[in-house]
Structure 1
């Protein structure tokens, strides 16, 4: 934890304010000697005024002829108490400490006596507990038994000024935190500075928040605070806000200090960086930074380090900037947390965003802050991003769990209840398997796509690929290639694009080097069946693009993970396997089959045309499955469904799609398809019909899951008798 303690030395300055402090110190040293002058340093709470005053004091002490510096703190005295006597006592005490030459001691004693006389004139009875200096001076005065008449206050003030002039002594009096005093005390300080203690060779440096001071003056003096302040402050100075880069560096260093003993993955480090950027854009002072870091550290410890640090930092920013929002998150948790499929309808998103802004505006009392709060929520909760149309995020609940994201419903519940120690991750088991499992053992785990341990294995292997030994990298890469493909409904590894097998395989190959990766891939891909080749299709296409082949417009050497010779061998293996395969409708349901067919069309156009275009796709159901690749799943605030994210493909006829449904629905193969595939085909029918009506655009030609279910029920009822 970092307490809100100001720096005391220039060497500790991290905000580039030494220059400001030096400028102020030079002005104080060069201030007129024949009268008092008041400098006012204005800045918001937490902006670092005290630190600047400390640096000014240090620089003044290093001057060739340093002045006497008096730090007077009105906070040490109860509201309403006399401040004049302790103020003058502090001044006398510092003069007495000053190392004067022996020939000046007599004049110094005269100055002290003059101050004591002034104290006595202003307040005849000195309170008990006064400084020993004042007591000694008063004893001296009692012994002396002055015979001269008592002088007026004006004469006593002049006597003090003359004494300081004769000493060639310059005095700088600093008073901090004026804005934290009561209204009456603020006015008393200004009266003290401007009238009671405006001695020659005495300069004042006052630090305050201008807006608070003005409110105090208006309340007590019943006047224009600006005009009043102008009469008191001869040299107004404004402390500029810290540089954004300096605050960002403090945030970054603070976060790194908190999590220094934990090794974060690249994705976690990236998320922390984004959170630091979000925090930087919302902090104005060092105090803001410290408060956020302190809450972040407290949450990190309380969560038993089981939550993604980037999310915890974003939550800390939310809770510091908008203190009212945490109770609101508790009530809204079911709608905020959870995974999302990545799509949304524009009309629904606009409506949902408006609802969020209205709710947050009512909570926070400002539409501007509501918009900012919403953007912070989006950084933590992907479902909010999708629902409001701010980002099309595709993330499953399993991935949220693996990433330790607060958006995972179970993690959010434990975070809000403060019981993270009861939450267990499958990471430890995954790491043990990764470092000891054989190819077959790892493959068996990976075949269980919905298993948290399997998903975590892929995540951990990708994160630690560079640190694994060569044998472990090779073992896990082979296990990934040999594992079963993901399910067609998107629940398998392919539904986790970042932590999925492709991303992990790329990291493993990158760590292995081109030679070893090429040798392994060439040997493993030979003899793979259609479903396993479909799982590899996206990776192969990525390598084609990296070499500037197929649709690639230019080479990208940094993305080339295998050799060109190996890539050509892979092409031949794919073409040969597909030429020999007995293609059927079932192949078109396999995840990645669309990309695999595309690659085949590039590698062997003649055979592809004969076997697919003029062969397999003549089957009505096969044609519909092929056409359904154009659909994308969307999620809005109220519903989920299917829509065309891009224009309909040139190789698909909408009229033929409609005509194919009757034959497809009469085939037994349609009714053996999985429920999710049948619902998608129902969505295809609805979307295409809406396009043919000509009343909507591609993005608006959507079909909700409810509409798809209703249409599928109608088909079931209509064709039940014929199939029976």
Structure 2
């Protein structure tokens, strides 16, 4: 069974069938009712009704009652007839008699069962005569002297009299009136019923689901047949709905008319709020019992949000069932590989809003900026922003039901902290978002849309994938998982999430884990994140640092990082991580270092050996320039200059170098911003001769190679053009700055 199937099997709206399942303390009521039914002497008929609104547990009470009666040796014979299964007035009438006749034949053995079934059918045929049931019900009740019988013809008999078939059938009734009257048939049937050693309980559930006319028909059928001995009718319905359907019948209101038929009516025992609360908690606990479902459940936060706000939405058992039936389906969409891809508490909260306040839910999905606030100004008071937030929040709350408005306001402020801060004009400083992201909270920008898409967006990563990465001990499998994330475009997100869960990686697997991160470093895409942006490679280095700094033994953690340098096949991340270690040594910031001095020297030799070999072969763009600067810093000018000179001996190498020295410049005039690509000749001259690079690139502009230029990738063409503009500036005696460009892009 799939993860989703496990959840969907937890049907929240399934009635119970046994007393042991009772969680609403209705057992005493059911036991007493069962005893009363068994004690009925059977000489007269009896009509019992159980009143309750839809979803309050009428069917559960019926199921438990029948279970007790069927287990008892002195219990009645049970015949269940669900009128809702038969649409249409004529079909309802036919089915009522036929279902009872069939059941009587099955419930009693031998001749008694045969006679009961036969006589019931004969009586029914005489009473109904096919489609003319209403006219003959009138005839039957006239014979028996029931004064309300003419009422049965209301609204239908005039159309039925127009049928010639009806006239023929009426004649047949008149012909047999003296010898085989309805009264005589009813008397014979009554005599057979008195022979039964136990009464017959005819159960009529879901009466309130019928149309008003069908409800009237059913009550008339019960009334006509209510005086048979040894027959008890048990009807279950919403009293208000049935009374409305029976209104203005026979000159009395629905309540008065119903009471003429129902001899014993019982309201379902009222459910206490504690029982409603427990039913919801039991349903949610059933969901949480699935492996991995409650892995990150914050019980303190749950108690606060449920105890203060959520409980107010659940006013009846119907509310609980409505919620659980949709919630178990919705959460299944986020439950994969034994992991939940959203925060459990937040999903309960947002699904509660969706079920009980759908207009608010729809608006929440469109109000991301209002609810999540401005990350850059979150720690400052901005009066205009606060005013805007208050006004927009009030506009959103207008959509709520008046009775839920105040609790909904507090609930939204609880699950969206930045909204609460903005509305209240509070200032908060701290790195909250890292924790929110780790907890998969709806208030985090990367998580918000997930709750409304009911799926993981492209480029995102599921908790199942993340858990597998953390728990995998075999390096080959770990590398496969990481490379798969690279190919899917999810590696940047994965590294960010792993950074938030760094403490979950077991120490015995940490070295293998970090070596694998180094291995795929060259494949991590480069991102242009502006001046303040932090890309995946920077986060990867942070992941290495924060994972190791937790090890209190500095010699041990240094050895672990050194082993990563020794065993990795990657080049870019080792260079970048070594650079931070060297910088920390030079600045004397011991608390930011992992490598001790002796290991740092060994690591530097390892990295330099790779650089001098083929370590820079797969490194491109700004990363290559970064590596060249570090090489120059760690050794001397000569080695990187010689390497660059060798690279620009052919055209592909020259383009690669031009691309490395082309830097993005972020320009803003206050109203808009743009990115300009700039090649600084003075910077290149730290590593090579400008004229040599110009000579290597010059053939690209000849007629013979113009088509080859067009075949270059976009970033390569931009680099060649940036270099060309820089050369034009120099030849024109202008500063080495893009602002002095006079040429247009081709």
**TM-score band w.r.t. shorter chain:** 0.5 to 0.7
Partner of 2:313: 282
Q: 2:277 aligns with which of 232, 244, 250?
A: 244
Q: 1:359 to 1:461 in 2, by over 3 A?
A: closer
The answer for the alignment partner of 1:92 in structure 2 is 101
**Residue of structure 1 in register with 2:501 after alignment:** 460
- Which stretch shows the higher mean deviation, 79-88 or 349-358? 349-358
Structure 1 residues 308, 358: closer, same or farther in 2, change over 3 A?
A: same
CA, structure 1 residues 290+456, in 2 after alignment: closer, same or farther (shift >3 Å)?
closer
- Give the aligned partner of residue 128 of structure 2: 123
- Name the structure 1 match of 2:620: none
| Aligned counterparts of 1:416 and 1:429: Cα–Cα separation in 2 | 21
Unaligned runs of 5+ in 1: 128-141, 437-450, 476-490, 493-499, 521-528, 535-724
Partner of 1:149: 179
In 2, distance between residues paired with 1:163 and 1:344?
88
**Could you tell me whether the CA contact under 8 Å between 1:14 and 1:246 is conserved in 2?**
yes
Deviations 1:583-605 (A, max 9, x none): xxxxxxxxxxxxxxxxxxxxxxx
2:245 equivalent in structure 1:
216
2:84 is aligned with 1:75: yes
Distance of 2:279 and 2:415 partners within structure 1: 25
Residues 152-198 of structure 1, C-alpha deviation per residue, up to 9 Å, x if partnerless? 44x54444333322323301111111111101111222222233344
TM-score of the two chains, using structure 1 as the length reference: 0.52
Partner secondary structure for residue 167 of structure 1: coil
Distance, in Å, in 1 between the alignment partners of 2:40 and 2:119 is: 23
Q: Using structure 2 for the length normalisation, give the TM-score.
A: 0.51
Alpha-carbon distance, 1:315 to partner: 1.8
Instruction: Output the CA distance in 2 between the equivalents of 1:254 and 1:430.
Output: 20
Report SS of the residue matched to 2:440: coil
Distance 1:349 1:221, change over 3 A: farther
Contact 1:292/1:317 (CA < 8 Å) preserved in 2?
no
User: Residue 292 of structure 1 aligns with which residue?
Assistant: 326
The answer to whether structure 1 residue 409 and structure 2 residue 455 are counterparts is no
Give the secondary structure class of the aligned counterpart of 1:69: strand
Query: Are the counterparts in 2 of residues 336 and 383 from structure 1 also a CA contact under 8 Å?
Result: yes
CA distance in 2: counterparts of 1:114 and 1:107, whole angstroms: 10
Q: Deviations over 1:282-322 (max 9, x none)?
A: 33335224323334324425999432232222222211122
Other-structure match for 2:403: 368
> What per-residue deviation string (whole Å, max 9, x for no partner) do you get for residues 369-388 of structure 1?
22233344334322333344
What pairs up with 1:522-671 in 2 under 5 angstroms?
none
Q: Following TM superposition, by how much is the alpha carbon of 1:252 offset from its aligned partner in structure 2, in angstroms? A: 1.8
Spell out, residue by residue over 1:49-75, the C-alpha distance to the aligned partner (whole angstroms, 9 max, x if none): 222212211111111222111111112
Q: Give the distance between the partners of 1:6 and 1:315, measured in 2 at CA.
A: 27
Per the alignment, residue 181 of structure 1 pairs with 210
- Whether the aligned pair in 2 keeps the contact of 1:43 and 1:240 (CA below 8 Å) is no
Show structure 2 runs of 5+ residues with no match: 1-7, 133-171, 474-491, 515-532, 535-541, 558-586, 593-746
Superposed displacement of residue 418, structure 1? 5.2
User: Deviation per CA, 1:413-460, whole angstroms, max 9, x where unpaired?
Assistant: 354345623142598789979999xxxxxxxxxxxxxx9888755642
CA-to-aligned-CA distance 1:178-230 (integer Å, 9 cap, x gap): 11110111122222223334422222221122332233233877853333333
Equivalent residue for 1:54?
63
Task: Give the Cα–Cα distance (whole angstroms) in 1 for the partners of residues 111 and 462 of structure 2.
Answer: 81
Structure 2 matches for 1:376-525, cutoff 5 A? 376-389=411-424, 396-417=432-453, 420-424=456-460, 456=497, 459-462=500-503, 464=504
Give yes or no for the alignment of 1:114 onto 2:119.
yes
Match of 1:717 in 2: none
Structure 1 stretch displaced more, 80-89 or 215-224: 215-224
Between the aligned partners of 2:89 and 2:435, the Cα distance in structure 1 is: 62
2: distance between equivalents of 1:264 and 1:17?
Answer: 35
Contact 1:381 1:407 in 2 (8 A): yes
Paired residue secondary structure (2:17) = coil
2:262 paired with 1:235: no
Equivalent residue for 1:324, pick from 359, 364, 369: 359
Contact preservation (8 Å) 2:119, 2:188? yes
**Partners of 1:433 and 1:255 in 2: CA distance:** 22
In our comparison, the structure showing a higher alpha carbon Rg is: 2
Contact kept? 2:297, 2:345, Cα under 8 Å: no
Distance 2:426 2:212 in 1: 49
Q: Partners in 2 of 1:28 and 1:390 — Cα distance?
A: 66
| Cα contact 2:288–2:294 (8 A) shared by 1 | no
Task: Specify the alignment match of 1:336 in structure 2.
Answer: 371
1:8 aligns with 2:17: yes
Q: 2:346 aligns with which of 287, 292, 311?
A: 311
User: Conserved in 1, the CA contact under 8 Å of 2:323 and 2:352?
Assistant: no
In 1: Cα distance, 2:471 partner to 2:42 partner: 78
Aligned to 1:256: 289
The CA distance in 2 between the partners of 1:223 and 1:426, in whole Å, is 64
Contact 2:201/2:234 (8 A) holds in 1? yes
* Alignment match, 2:222: 193
Q: Match of 2:234, SS?
A: strand
Contact 2:34-2:65 within 8 A present in 1 as well: yes
SS of 2:346's equivalent in the other structure is: helix
Q: Distance in 1 between matches of 2:218 and 2:437?
A: 58
Give the 3-state SS of the residue equivalent to 2:232 in structure 1: strand
Hey, what's the Cα distance between the residues in 2 that align with 1:245 and 1:96? Answer: 44
Residue pair 2:205, 2:237 contacting (<8 A) in 1 also: yes
